[in-house]
Amino acid sequence: MNKDINFIYEIGCFRFIQRTWRQFLNADFANVSEHTLRVAWIALILAKYENIKDTEKLLKMVLVHDLTESRTGDVNYLSRQYTVRKESEAIHDILEGTVLESEFLELWKEYEKKESIEAKIIKDADNLDVDFELQEQFYKGDLTKETFKDIREYVSINKLYTESAKKIWKKLQDSNPHDWHKQSNNRFNSGDWKK
C-alpha cells in the first residue's frame, strides 16, 4: 500500500505544476490539475456528441493523459523543440507497484497512439481547453488569443479528430465566458433585482 499512498501524494502535487503557457505574458492559465478537470468535462460532452455510451474508460484515460507531467513537467509549442521528455520511463516509474499499474499503463499507451475514439476525444478536449483558456484571457484584456490565432486555426482544422470538437471550436470563438452566470438564474433576471 505504500506505493499507492505515495502515488496519491504525487497526484496532489499536480496543483503546483504550472502549465508552460504562463511563459507567454504571464497569463493566469490553469495548473495541470485544473486543466485535467476541465479536459474531463469537455471529453464527456464530446463523448455525448459522438454517441459514446460507456464513459468509464474515457474518464480513466483523461486522468492518465498528462500523468507523466508530474515527472517531466509541461512543455509548450516552443519548449517542445528543445526538450526531451522520457514519458514512457516516467509513466512506468509513477505507476510501478501501485494497484493501478497494469490498467493505467495500458490506458496511457492507448492514449499515446491516438487510434481509439476515446483517445481522439481526449486529445480534442485537451486542445479545446487551450482555446477556452485563450477566450477567458481575451475577456480579461489579454490579447494572446489574437497572437495565436493562426496557430489555433491550424489546430482546429488539422489536429482536431472529431466533428464535434471542430463545431465546438468554431462556436467558442464568438462565445462570452460570462454568459454562463449572466444567463443563469440570478438576482438580476429572476431574483430581487428583477424589474
CA distances from residue 159 to 10, 46, 55 in whole angstroms, order as listed? 31, 15, 22
pLDDT in tens, 5-32: 999 999 999 999 888 878 877 778 899 9
In a domain, 123, yes or no: yes
In a domain, 131, yes or no: yes
d(CA 145, CA 147) in angstroms, rounded, equals 5
Q: Examine the pLDDT at 195 and tell me if it is beyond 80.
A: no
Number of domains in the chain: 1
In a domain, 184, yes or no: no
Q: Examine the pLDDT at 41 and tell me if it is beyond 90.
A: yes
CA angle 168–173–174, rounded 5-degree value = 110
In a domain, 192, yes or no: no
CA angle 164–45–63, rounded 5-degree value = 115
In a domain, 187, yes or no: no
In a domain, 82, yes or no: yes
Instruction: Give the structural domain span for 12.
Output: 2-178
Q: Which amino acid is at 112?
A: E
pTM summary value: 0.93
Residue 48 is part of a domain; what is its CATH number? 1.10.3210.10
In a domain, 92, yes or no: yes
pLDDT in tens, 65-111: 999 999 998 998 889 899 999 999 999 999 999 999 999 999 999 99
| Helix, strand, coil percentages for the chain (3-state, nearest 5) | 65, 0, 30
d(CA 86, CA 139) in angstroms, rounded, equals 37
SS3 104: helix
Dihedral angle over CA of 6, 10, 12, 17, nearest 10? 170
pLDDT at 20: 86
CB of 105 within 8 A of CB of 143? no
In a domain, 154, yes or no: yes
d(CA 154, CA 159) in angstroms, rounded, equals 7
SS3 169: helix
pLDDT at 21: 78
